[in-house]
Amino acid sequence: MATVKKVDCSCPRRKKPTCPHKPYRVTYREPGGRAGKPRQVSFKLLEDAQAFAVKVERDKDLGAYIHPKQGQRTFSDVWEEWVSAGVLEASSKANYTSVYKNHYGVPFGSRPIGAITPSDIAKWETEQHAKYAAYGVQGRFNVLSSVFNYAVDAEIIGRNPCRKANARKNARRSAYIPVSDEEIPTMEEVLGIIAEAPKRIRAGFWGMAGCGCRPGEALALSDLSMDWEGSILHKTHQVSAHGCNEISGQNRGVKRGTKHRDPKREDLVVKAPVPASVAEIFADHIDSFGVWGERGWLFESPRKSDQHPSYDWFLNQFKEAAKKAGTPEYTPKSFRHFFISQAIHEGIPLFEIAAWVGHRTTRVTEVVYGHLVRRAMTRGANAMENRLGLDLAPFKGVITPPQWLGAGAGDDDHEGAA
């Protein structure tokens, strides 16, 4: 049981507020009964000592006791531990390093993680909203909350300060923001951009618009990734600036595995249907430019033979083509939005679309493209109305639909007569 004792000091100012000593000492044992290690914590005020004594015993009863020194670890120390705790790709680690440097290092890095309060988080979030778009702020808040959740699970701190950072909000928005109509190009706009693209890369643009590829996946298209008879594209590789040593022999090239997918598990390979016209475009590209490498890669660096194009080069080609087409607002991701929106318009189930584009769960597809689904429901209602709709004007007041007043009508008359 925690006890509070007052220990007199020899300081001449011991009876004055300026006395630097902490005379009230709390003595307690860590969890484990007699085997628990004895601890002592000193306080300047009696009420603080009593409050701590009550809290430490309550935490021991609830199994929520945290060693006081754990909370003294700096945020940067816990951050490094959190980043190293899971299996992350080199590109993800590079992204986290950049995010930490630009957004977490200055306000939190050198501070003890246990001293960071909900008000500190709220202040940080307010400053973020003054500089950045809501989508990015929400994503960084979620990462920050994940770090504190890890600290709670690792018994470094007792609770996550992000949970109460803004008590006026009942719930926070998802990190995924619905795509607006302005972000989805029309078929004419897609064709206009592709027409302005260099011929040697047009097939990659069709990979995004016609098969829902990410830019890195489109650049890694190969003869072996195509099931020509089944018209299926196997998205097994991606061009990246990180983690390519195993295949490309350097830290820039192509690697096996795509986003959120274990490259060693064949059952997790993303597969997408290939329209006949797009398959013909892929075949024409091979006839015109050939392939290279063991897998028969479709795209080669314009500067160095037997090497993959860089993502930056691909992005610049897209930007230039979009500018020439008069639609500079679009990005490679816009073609992916086009693919998903067209699939939804055709009534394809969301779980199939999510599998084709490599979304981790259908929840992502629902949140980002949910408004398109609602429009599809309207079209569905109209279709059913066209199928089942009747001219009921002559039968106003008749409860039973007229097509059901067949053989059963006599029974109704008989019942009425009875």
Shared domain for 305 and 325, answered yes or no, is: yes
> DSSP label at 180?
P
Give per-residue pLDDT as tens, 268-294. Answer: 688 999 999 999 999 999 999 999 998
Looking at residue 158, its pLDDT comes to 76
- Domain ends where: 129, 164, 199? 164
Identify whether 98 is part of a domain: yes
Shared domain for 198 and 80, answered yes or no, is: no
pLDDT, average across residues 248-275: 70
Shared domain for 89 and 203, answered yes or no, is: no
Identify whether 411 is part of a domain: no
Contact status, residue 310 vs residue 301, Cβ threshold 8 Å:
yes
Q: How confident is the model at residue 246 (pLDDT cuts 50, 70, 90)?
A: low
Nearest in space to 190 (alpha carbons), one of 178, 206, 214, 213: 206
Shared domain for 252 and 311, answered yes or no, is: yes
Q: Which residue has the tokens 């007052």?
A: 6
Identify whether 389 is part of a domain: no
Residue 409 clears pLDDT 90, i.e. is over it: no
Shared domain for 141 and 247, answered yes or no, is: no
Looking at residue 70, its pLDDT comes to 76
Identify whether 209 is part of a domain: yes
Shared domain for 102 and 152, answered yes or no, is: yes
Q: How confident is the model at residue 417 (pLDDT cuts 50, 70, 90)?
A: very low
According to DSSP, the residues that pair with 330 across neighbouring strands are none
According to DSSP, the residues that pair with 240 across neighbouring strands are 253
Give per-residue pLDDT as tens, 190-223. Answer: 999 999 999 999 999 999 999 999 999 999 999 9
- If one counts the domains in the chain, the total is 3
**Straight-line distance from the first to the last Cα atom of the chain, in angstroms, rounded to the nearest whole number:** 86
> DSSP label at 63?
T
- Domain ends where: 65, 97, 117? 65
Looking at residue 258, its pLDDT comes to 64
Q: What is the CATH number of the domain that holds 150?
A: 1.10.150.130
The CA distance from 151 to 234, in Å, is 39
Q: How confident is the model at residue 317 (pLDDT cuts 50, 70, 90)?
A: very high
Residue 131, phi then psi, degrees to nearest 5: -115, -30
pTM of the model: 0.59
Q: What is the CATH number of the domain that holds 346?
A: 1.10.443.10
Taking each helix axis as running N to C, give the angle between helix 134-153 and helix 90-99, from 0 to 180 degrees, rounded to the nearest 10: 100
How many other C-beta atoms can be found within 10 angstroms of the C-beta atom of residue 217?
A: 27
Shared domain for 252 and 343, answered yes or no, is: yes
Copy the structure tokens of residue 201. Answer: 């890369």
The CA distance from 170 to 118, in Å, is 15
Shared domain for 103 and 37, answered yes or no, is: no
Shared domain for 259 and 325, answered yes or no, is: yes
Shared domain for 248 and 318, answered yes or no, is: yes
- Domain ends where: 109, 133, 164? 164
> Which is higher by pLDDT, 123 or 13?
123
According to DSSP, the residues that pair with 222 across neighbouring strands are 297
Domain that holds residue 303: 186-372
Copy the structure tokens of residue 242. Answer: 């990180």
Q: How confident is the model at residue 418 (pLDDT cuts 50, 70, 90)?
A: very low
Nearest in space to 376 (alpha carbons), one of 360, 391, 365: 365
Contact status, residue 319 vs residue 327, Cβ threshold 8 Å:
no
When mean pLDDT is compared across 34-48, 150-164, 302-316, 351-365, the lowest value belongs to 34-48
When mean pLDDT is compared across 172-181, 298-307, 366-375, the lowest value belongs to 172-181
**CA distances to 128, 162, 163, 164, 165 from 170, in Å:** 20, 13, 11, 10, 11
Give per-residue pLDDT as tens, 389-400. Answer: 555 555 555 555
Shared domain for 51 and 83, answered yes or no, is: no
Shared domain for 196 and 335, answered yes or no, is: yes
